[in-house]
A and B are shown apart, each in its own frame.
Chain A
Amino acid sequence: MPWMFPTVMKNLFRGPATRRYPYKKREPFEEARGKVSWDMVKCDLCHDCERICPVGAIVVDEEMKTVTYDPFLCVYCSKCAESCFHGCIIVSLNYCEPAYEKSVDVFEKKEVPVEIT
């Protein structure tokens, strides 16, 4: 037990190693893999992300012109964002927050507004 003494003394004056979490949050790292979202102006509903997703968390519906994303099924590998040819998948740095009920995110296709001159 005496060998522990220096560590004990150090810890006595060092303060807590943990953060006061809800009040003080750590900034996410630069390349963290978090929730993904779609820029539906760029998206052309090509099914690439749906095919590449290892868990099938993405469903592209061409008739309804929607992309359905299930953040509770997603494993946050961000493979979809890498594979997207148009670069329309945006990876946020924050992970999916806990929720009482599972839900899906639905993104609807937006047409590019035509500029009238």
Chain B
Amino acid sequence: MAKVVVPFGPQHPVLPEPVHLTLVLEDDVVLQAIPAIGYCHRGIEKLAEKKPFQQVPFLVERICGICNFMHAMAFCQAVEKLVGVEVPPRAKFLRVIWAELNRVRSHLLWLGLLADAIGFESIFMQFWKIRESVIDLIEESTGARIIFSTNIVGGLRRDISGELLTKIDRVLKQIRPEIEELGHVLLNDYSIKQRAVGKGVLSKEDAHKLGAVGPTARGSGLNVDVRTTGYAAYDEVAFEPTVETAGDCYARTLVRYRETLQSMDMIHEAIVKIPSGEIAGVFEKWPEGEAFELVEQPRGEVFYYVKGNGTINLERLRVRTPTFSNIPPLLHMLVGCHMEDVPIITLSIDPCISCTER
């Protein structure tokens, strides 16, 4: 049987963002997948060196719209180490609340996209309808629907009032049964099981060896979650990483579905425990030295490296995003699968290409 080369992407119905995979097929079975990225490189790392470091949180938020709060949070936490500022406890709790709202929004988006990729349009619409109420909460608390712009070096720019915290808690309680109802449909549907169970299997050893992160690694039985290291106020909010052992697309869906509900519990706990006080610390020096920071994003861990030289501009900013780490496991999963499963396997790592290319 002759080999056939089929291009997948950069424009494809299941891909919201451009990534190109050259698939080498033999009789409908993928023998090799060769990735090509570089369709939306914007040079953000270099631009960050040209701007005063206080303005960079607004820039790094633009790396990715879906997990923008965690990008700014990781950057600010890294620079806070360099300038030696103590973040007030209330700001830490608010960071947890906003980060988890961001995660809920991102996971609901992904659950909808999964249903859309399979062709289950009504579930897609339902999930995005619920997502809209989460976006409204974000807009009411931060002032914008998508880009939070609340992180600054030293803490936060905005506080959430007591009434609004109660409202967030109430709305999340209202949408929880709706998510559970839809999740029951999504996870038990015959056609979704046919498309997802046993597809794109990644074993625990391979996930470890290839450096998978986030829900991709947790779906394969690896218990890795940076939140357990207790940055921000995660050490005061009880949670257990969601781990599944099957390693297929269905397991990764389960992990994301459970994490959505878990994040809501964490927001509730943070709202109950939040102390009162200041929301931003004051610092009097400019960043000098090197620091790195790990933060758990909806797609996995993001790595920020910051180097300062005592001036207002940073000397170097390096970002390694979760999708970049998840591309080698993806290529491994694609080998041996059928052509019709390629879209759903690619979607199952939740690819964010604008993160990857920055």
Contacts and interface: CB of A to CB of B under 8 A. Distances in A.
Contacts of A54: 51, 55, 58-59
B188 interface: yes
A3 interface: yes
A29 B185 contact: no
A103 interface: no
A75 B188 contact: no
Interface in A1-49: 1, 3-4, 6-7, 17, 29-33
Most buried by B among A4, A17, A52, A75: A4
B129 A78 contact: no
Interface string B161-196: 000000000000000000001101100111000000
A33 B143 contact: yes
Interface in B46-63: 51, 55, 58-59, 62
Contact of A7 (B139, B149, B157, B182): B182
Nearest to A31: B143
A114 to B, nearest CB: 39
Interface in B116-164: 122-123, 126, 129, 132, 139-140, 143-144, 147, 149, 157-158
B147 A75 contact: yes
Contacts of A31: 140, 143, 158
A75 B68 CA distance: 14
Contacts of B122: 4
A77 B149 contact: yes
A116 to B, nearest CB: 43
Interface in A55-96: 55, 75-79, 82
Contacts of B157: 82
A29 B139 contact: yes
Interface of B: 51, 55, 58-59, 62, 122-123, 126, 129, 132, 139-140, 143-144, 147, 149, 157-158, 181-182, 184-185, 188-190
26 contacts: A1-B189, A1-B190, A3-B184, A3-B188, A4-B122, A4-B123, A4-B189, A7-B126, A7-B181, A7-B182, A7-B185, A29-B140, A30-B140, A31-B140, A31-B158, A32-B143, A33-B144, A33-B149, A52-B55, A54-B58, A54-B59, A55-B58, A75-B58, A75-B62, A78-B143, A82-B157
A38 B58 CA distance: 22
A77 B184 CA distance: 39
B192 to A, nearest CB: 11
Contacts of A79: 58
Contacts of B189: 1, 3-4
A30 B184 CA distance: 36
A115 B114 CA distance: 68
A4 B10 CA distance: 34
Nearest to A82: B157
A51 B108 CA distance: 38
A75 to B, nearest CB: 6
Nearest to A11: B126
Given A29-B143, A31-B143, A32-B143, A6 B181 contact: yes
A52 B189 CA distance: 53
What 4 pairs between A and B have smallest CB-CB spacing? Answer: A33-B143, A54-B55, A54-B58, A77-B149
A76 B158 CA distance: 15
Given A1-B190, A4-B189, A75-B58, 13 more contacts: A3-B185, A6-B181, A7-B181, A7-B185, A17-B129, A29-B143, A31-B158, A54-B51, A54-B58, A54-B59, A55-B58, A75-B147, A77-B149
